[in-house]
Each structure stands twice: as C-alpha cells, then as structure tokens.
Chain A
Amino acid sequence: MAPRIATSAADAVAQITDGSTVLIGGFGNAGQPMELIDALMQCGATDLTVVNNNAGQADAGLALLIKERRVKKIICSFPRQSDSWHFDEAYRAGEIELELVPQGNLAERIRAAGAGIGGFFTPTGYGTLLAEGKETRIIDGRGYVLESPIHADFALIKALRADTHGNLVYRKTARNFGPIMATAAAQAIVQVDEVVPVGGIDPENVITPGIYVDTVVALGGSN
C-alpha cells in the first residue's frame, strides 16, 4: 500500500501514543528529523522509550523531549556530550532510564528487528561491563555476546526525497540510522524535503524501498 502523505509534521505524528517505543534517526544533527520531533513534543505523547545514537544536543529536538520528561527510557550509544545538559540533569535526578549499547550493536539490533532475526552473537562488547548478564559463547576461539533485536512502534526519520510509493533517498552522512530504523518499526514516519511523483527516483538509486514506509511529510528544502 502506498504511504499516507501527511499534510504537516503534526499530522504525521498524530498517531503516536503514550508509552510508545520510538526510533529516532540522526547522528548528532545530521539526519535528525527535527520537525517531527518538535511535532511529537506538541502532540503530548509521554512515557516514551526512545532509541537514538545520542541523548539530545543543546536545546532542540530530542533534548527538549528529555527536558520535559517525556522520555522514560533511552537506548543509545553516546548520551554524554558537551551539550547534553538536559539528559545529564534527568539522568542524575534518576528520572530517565539509560540502556547503553555499543554503536555497532545498536545498529545491528535495529537491523535484526527489521530483518526478522531473533538474536545474534557479536564480538563487540565481549568481556566488558556492557555484556554483564548476557549469554556469551566461544565460537572458533573468539568470545561473542548474544544481543537481541530492538523492535519499535514508530520510527521518525529524515530523508532527502520520497516518491509517492515511499521510496526514499537520503543525503550524505545524514543517511546514518534512517534505512535500518525504517525497517524495524511498525510505523515508519519520514520527513523529506520533497515528495516527487512515481518515476521521479531512479529505481537503481532507491536506498529505502517504499514497503517500509508508512507516512511521508514534505517539509521543503533544508539544503
């Protein structure tokens, strides 16, 4: 089924309810779907579990969701940054749960969810604090840790362009988590600069096939 073309960022995120698990794309600000996050803020959903590489920067986007205590748990690889003051405060106050995951394991756990994989053994993290309590196995003399997929109710993603079938292309390193997050959520919501008619994207260049995309909103060119 072709994706719904939403009329605004608010319309795109209207279905997100309290207690949802939300994958949010972006690495730092590159690929962060800022307008969708702002709309999520406005829509009032709370008690969220958020998956992102970081835990918000400065006073925008994810950082504000955390500031307003709308995020009960964050799954990320790198929460502490020079400008992560809202996360730092919430964490020190014991008002947000942190699940810290090595970046490659985070990506693979998201990929696994979208690919129907029930778990995988990875060498990353073996013998470290982040593997404590997890099943391990020695395979061909090397230590591995069992990691589980990260499924989500929603993904919020920023891409460069969509066609009306939901096929996506991204821009440079803003691609980062977008393609895998689109596969791992029950509902993938994508903000793009523009939506073009079918045929407007060369099939050879499609990065995320439209099958994964549920809602698209065009917000005009940022570049």
Chain B
Amino acid sequence: MTTYTPEKLTRDEMAQQVAADIPAGAFVNLGIGQPTNVSNFLTADQGVTLHTENGMLGMGPVATGEDIDEDLINAGKIPVTELPGASFFHHADSFAMMRGGHLDVCVLGAFQISEAGDLANWHTGAEGAIPAVGGAMDLAIGAKQTWVMMSLFTKAGESKLVKELSYPVTGLGCVSRIYTESAVFELRDSTVFVRSTHGISFEDLASRIPVALERA
C-alpha cells in the first residue's frame, strides 16, 4: 500500500519520518547536513544512542554557552554534549564498530542513488574539484541499514534516483531506504518500492523517475 499526502514533505517532516522509523534502542550514526536534524525528533522513550565517528557513543545535543568544550565535538566538528552513559574511544575502534556491523542505522545525504542501492555522495567528479571523502565510504557500507535523505530532483528537475550512477561511487548496493520531499522508497529484493508519495501521484512519480517502481 502506497500512501499519499497532497503536500510535499518539509525538511523537518522528512527528519520526523526518519526519526519515527528508527527502532527503539538502536545505535545510530547521523551524517552531516540534513540527517543531523533527525536527532531533534528522536524521543526519550526511543532510547536511541547516537554514534559520532570521531569517537563517541551517547552524543547529546549541540553545546551552547558554557557547555562548549573544544575537546567534545561531533564529526562535523561542531561542539556537542555528552549524555549519561556516554563512552569515548579511538578512531580505529570507532570505525571497527561501524565496519563490523554493530551500528543499526546510518542516515546519510546523497547526490545520487541507483536502483541497486549504489550510493554517490562524496565527490561530484567535477574538473578541478579537490576530493575529500572523510568517513563517507565507511558509513555507507558499515551499518546494518543505510538510509538516505535527499531532495528527489536536481535543480534542473532530473531524478537523483537513477538506473546507474553518473557520479563517483561511495558504496555499492548499500542503501535500503530513501526519504525525499516527494516520496519515500524502500529498496529490497532488487526492487524499488514506493512507500508513500507527497504532493505527487504514484503515476506522475513513475513518469519522472527512470527506474521501475512498485507500490509497497
């Protein structure tokens, strides 16, 4: 069943949907940018523990005023706080935790995603661009589930959900869910399912996306 709402999702509504889908008690890494906003919609009863790849579990909200401590930052190098039960560890442990499949969910931004769940989010491939990868490739393939938040269309109106990536790959076959302003997709069994559409009908969506879509 594919649900429909007449309005597109706002960025906050997308973050709210992602937050609501995170299982209770999960260990989660939220990427830089839109995914960071998800933390604002997690509820205390969800008991979610946030991981930051620079070496901390139990990350709290962004620090303000006297709580700012230059030794306590997130992966975006923003000062954050620590929650009761937090732990610190070095970088190799932090990425072993991720690569070893101990994190339940990782939420990332993207330039493009292929129907096979290949992710492009680190490099535009543009001439003269200085490449920087950070933890993107580790995050893409490490968690049990990798979800993406992005706008579905480029400024020129082209779909970012594509048959095959034209941007350089970050990770192959790693994305299982995509949250956009116009639709939420689930990628499983080599099929792209549409869980919901927002401000666009399933038929109109299918006409604008160059991959075969199935109703969820």
Show the binding face of A for B, using Cβ within 8 Å: 27-31, 53, 77-81, 88, 91-92, 98, 100-108, 110-111, 122-130, 143, 170-180, 207, 223
B211 within 8 A of A: no
- 4 A-B pairs besides A101-B133, A107-B95 with CB distance below 8 A are A104-B91, A130-B133, A170-B88, A177-B91
Chain A CB within 10 Å — which of B53, B70, B88 has the most?
B70
Measured between beta carbons, the chain B residues less than 8 angstroms from A130 are 133, 137
Which residue of A is nearest B94, CB measured? A107
How many of chain B's residues have a CB under 8 angstroms from any CB in A? 40
B89 within 8 A of A: yes
Task: Please state if B133 and A104 are interface contacts (CB–CB under 8 Å).
Answer: no
Helix, strand, loop or mixed for chain B's interface?
loop
Expressed in whole angstroms, the Cα–Cα distance for A178 and B90 within the complex equals: 7
Task: Please state if A104 and B142 are interface contacts (CB–CB under 8 Å).
Answer: yes
Contact of A125 among B131, B134, B137 (CB under 8 A): B137
Chain B's nearest CB lies how many Å from the CB of A87?
Answer: 8
Measured between beta carbons, the chain B residues less than 8 angstroms from A207 are 90
Chain A CB within 10 Å — which of B82, B96, B98, B130 has the most?
B130
Interface string of B111-151 (1 = CB under 8 A from A): 00000000000010000101111111110011000000000
B196 within 8 A of A: no
B72 within 8 A of A: yes
Measured between beta carbons, the chain A residues less than 8 angstroms from B77 are 27-30
Contact of A176 with B55 at beta-carbon distance under 8 Å, contacts A103-B95, A125-B137 already known: yes
Could you show 24 A-B contacts with beta carbons less than 8 Å apart? A28-B77, A30-B70, A30-B77, A31-B71, A102-B137, A103-B53, A103-B134, A103-B138, A104-B91, A104-B94, A104-B98, A104-B135, A107-B94, A108-B95, A124-B141, A124-B142, A128-B137, A129-B168, A172-B56, A173-B73, A173-B88, A174-B70, A175-B55, A176-B91
